[in-house]
Amino acid sequence: MNDLQQSTDGFRVSKRRQLPSWHFGVMSVGRCAALLIVLVSLQSTAVAQFPFQQPNNLRQPQSPHEAIRQRGFDYYQKGQYREAIKVATQVLNVEPKDPVSFYLRASAKIELGRQSADRLLIREGIQDARQALAIRGGDDKFSNLYIPYLYGMSCLAILERKPSHADTSIKTAGTIIERPNVDKTDKSSLLYQRAFAREQANLVDSMLFDQTAATPEDLRAFRAEQAERRRDAIADYAQAIKYNPKQMGSHINMAKLLAVSGDVAGATAAYTAAVQEFPRSATIFNERGVFLRQQGQLDEAIADFTQAVAIQSDFAMGYINRGFCLIDKGEDEAAETDFNTAVGLNPRMSLALSLRGTARMSLGKSEPAIADFSRQLELNPKDATAFANRGFARFFAKQFNESARDFQQALQLQPTALHLSVWRCLALERAGKTEEAHAELQALLDSGKGPQGWVATVSRFLLGQTTGEEMLAAANAVQDERISAAQQCEAQFYIGQRDLMAGNTEAANKHFEAAIATNANYLSAYRGAKYELGQFGGQ
């Protein structure tokens, strides 16, 4: 049974709330299609791939341009990559053979290209890195000049879907690591880059591998190769830490890979070692908090996120991740407070707006939630998740025409989000457009590209092609208790909607009460039932 067959929220139903399977691009999650963006693993903190500051062996105190170069590295450290590029170019205009400026400009172009998914900009960065190497790359004392080149090739592998780029990075790093005069700090950075390249090779191969067409032998070979690369990457990160215990990226990535590999004890030990090495790092506590939440240890995760914001009071990601865990615990008011703090720190942070809107919907604050999702859409008018979330909020606020339009926009932007076709149909019906709603949903089913499984069952109910009893029987027949409870919640909600539109409020309310009794509080149907019954303070 695929994800979209399990509920009309588009969720995979499991022990914890999951990311809606229709939106992996910007992360989203939640009790409705809205606990969105933090989901796959909450929000990890980005770890810089290059040194934040100019490496000591690249400093040229006697150069008249040293202060300018340092300003460029300061811009890079702050993530102001365009300014760093301008500074490096300024130096190269008067000193065209300066390897340090090529190194800086390469690093900034690659990071900026990675952020914007601009492969041509990454290629420009790689070319700058080659220029730096052509000037001083043969000197073991300057082996760190290879870092932007290695990182650029790994990033290019993803954007161009060519594992050979990552393989080039792996092989080149291996050659430089073996040079006899490379110092330990540089070896640590090179090992990090080789491990990172192994991870990117795995990712590209996953993109290209067609499991539906693979034989069992092919699948076993693919999984074995992926596991071997993970083991090699873990070994590289571990060796990098031995050479340089202060390399934060290796600590974090090794712990993550151990977790992905199923070695929870190893990951726990790795995160503990990282915390001991970096006891004043908000990033490390945030990362461990993400891991603990994945293990279902919500209180421990909250404690780590609390420590992260205690260390760095403007650490927005810590407030967001703590807020998400609070939503997980049903503490929506406390979650809203954390999201308010995050929005205050960065009013343009779409993630914080999305999650605050979700928390507000859970509190019965549909109008403020609509405002949050509308602000998201001002920031990104093509955000399918924000349209879906605003569609839910407007449905709960009984703005049915507007809700139907939002669901339509979400479907146009994300055509695979077929579960939203059910909600659009219902919104149109509530707006008095039953004929249009049924014609549209029937056409979708007849197209052969419509919803399958449970979503198709609900669709047929809304079209009058199956009864409420039959829909409930289908939900009760599911062996997985959690999936069954989710589908029972939705069945009761949709039957209640049908009774409500027929004017039978008493019967409808009984079905809404039954939906709430399933305790499937991660579903929009559950929240919708609470809205219909007015079970919010102040509503």
pLDDT digits (tens, 9 = 90+) for 109-166: 999 999 999 999 999 999 999 999 999 877 888 888 999 999 999 999 999 999 999 9
- Residue written as tokens 């939900």? 475
What's the CA gap between 270 and 286, in Å, rounded? Answer: 14
Q: Measured between alpha carbons, how far is 350 from 455 in angstroms, rounded to an integer?
A: 29
- Distance CA(229)–CA(233), nearest Å, equals 6
Specify the DSSP element, H or E, that contains 238: helix 216-243
Q: What is the pLDDT of residue 139?
A: 81
Helix/strand/coil (H/E/C) assignment for every residue in 313-327: CCCHHHHHHHHHHHH
- As given in the structure block, the two tokens for residue 367 are 């109008």
- What pLDDT, on a 0 to 100 scale, did the predictor assign at position 62? 60
Which tens digit of pLDDT belongs to each residue from 291-333?
999 999 999 999 999 999 999 999 999 999 999 999 989 899 9
Report pLDDT for 213: 87
Q: How far is C-alpha 459 from the geometric centre of its chain's CA atoms? A: 30
Instruction: State in Å, rounded, how far the first CA of the chain is from the last one.
Output: 38
C-alpha angle 287/330/492, rounded to 5°?
Answer: 125
User: What pLDDT does residue 141 have?
Assistant: 82
CA distance 488 to 512: 11
Largest CA distance in the chain: 86
Q: Which amino acid is at 84?
A: A
The Cα–Cα gap between 170 and 161 comes to 16
In this prediction, the residues of the chain whose per-residue pLDDT falls under 70 are 1-8, 10-63, 537-539
Domain locations along the chain: 467-538
pLDDT at 105 (0 to 100): 96
For tokens 């909020």, name the residue.
393
Could you give the angle at the alpha carbon of 370 between the alpha carbons of 367 and 374, nearest 5°? Answer: 145
Return the residue matching tokens 């939906």. Answer: 515
Contact 6, 453 (CB under 8 A): yes
- What values do phi and psi take at 477, rounded to 5? -80, -15
